[in-house]
Amino acid sequence: MTQPFLEIESVHKDFGGLRAVSDVSFSMGREEVLGLIGPNGAGKTTLLRLITSILKPDYGSIRFKGKEIAGLKTWEIVNRGIACTFQNMRPFRRLPIIANVMVSCLCPRAMKSGEWVKRIEAKAMDALEFAGISDMALEKASTLSQGDLKRLEVARAIATEPELLLLDEPFGGLSPAETELMAKSIQRLHKGGRFGRLHSEGPAMIIVEHKLQQLMKIVDRIIVLNFGTLIADGKPEEIVTDKQVIEAYLGEREM
């Protein structure tokens, strides 16, 4: 049997008397793009923070490439090959956007790559070009629009050369045109693109998103959380007709 690329087993996380994640278990393969959906407060972002070790599970196991990662330092998670973007973006606003990406290029995982013989500035420019904002490399991050900040977050994440990329609401706050561009960038990245060593194999992905119509087009499989509990796991066409999923979204938003 092939070992799961990422395996979540019986993970729980409480905040005081509130259980944010309750007995969640699933696994994913190296080639997958996984959607993670659910109503507001379902535990989606908490789960991403558990995978990236920003939070530590109260109990349960999180294994990446067969090794336990729950409780590691966040920088150790990055060096294992996991990167994440979050909906609350926190760039170095007074620095040029290329400097924001150069910080990511300095992580040990990116620095030790045998294929990377360019200067750090060139590495950062590659990431910005891939994200579609290289023409603004010298502008301060404080001047960027919401859409461009999203692309900066992606550039900073891929500069670490991840094998697993977690995206928290990459389409949030974007116009329809910006959403379409972001979706194409995500698909291109997963297919390998031309960035760094990703030219041969792009990262696996977990994408949290409320814009379900766009999400359904780019994922292979969808996990659904509600009140911290996993209620469905299947292909997009199965999820949109699942009764528990429809009930979870009633009164929240239309499927």
Does residue 132 lie in a domain region? no
CB 71 within 8 A of CB 112: no
Residue 106 in domain: no
Measured distance CA(13)–CA(10) in Å, rounded: 10
Residue 134 resides in a domain: no
Q: Which domain holds residue 48?
A: 6-88+164-249
Q: What's the 3-state SS for 72-111?
A: CCHHHHHHHCEEEECCCCCCCCCCEHHHHHHHHHCCHHHH
pTM: 0.88
Q: Classify residue 157: in a domain, yes or no.
A: no
Q: Phi/psi of residue 60, each to 5°?
A: 115, 175
HEC-encoded secondary structure of 10-79: EEEEEECCEEEEEEEEEEECCCCEEEEECCCCCCHHHHHHHHCCCCCCCEEEEEECCEECCCCCHHHHHH
156 domain-assigned: no
We report the CATH number of the domain holding residue 48 as 3.40.50.300
Residue 150 belongs to some domain of the structure? no
Domain count for the chain:
1
Task: List the chain pLDDT tens, one digit each, 255 residues.
Answer: 578 899 999 999 999 888 899 999 999 999 999 999 999 889 999 999 999 999 999 999 999 999 999 989 999 999 999 999 987 777 888 889 999 998 888 777 766 654 544 578 888 888 888 888 889 899 999 998 888 888 899 899 988 889 999 999 988 878 888 888 888 888 888 887 555 544 457 899 999 998 998 999 999 999 999 999 999 999 999 998 899 998 887 655 444
Burial class (CB in 10 A: 0-12, 13-18, 19+), 26: middle
CA-to-CA separations, 205 to 72, 118, 169, 246, 247, in angstroms, rounded? 20, 27, 13, 24, 27
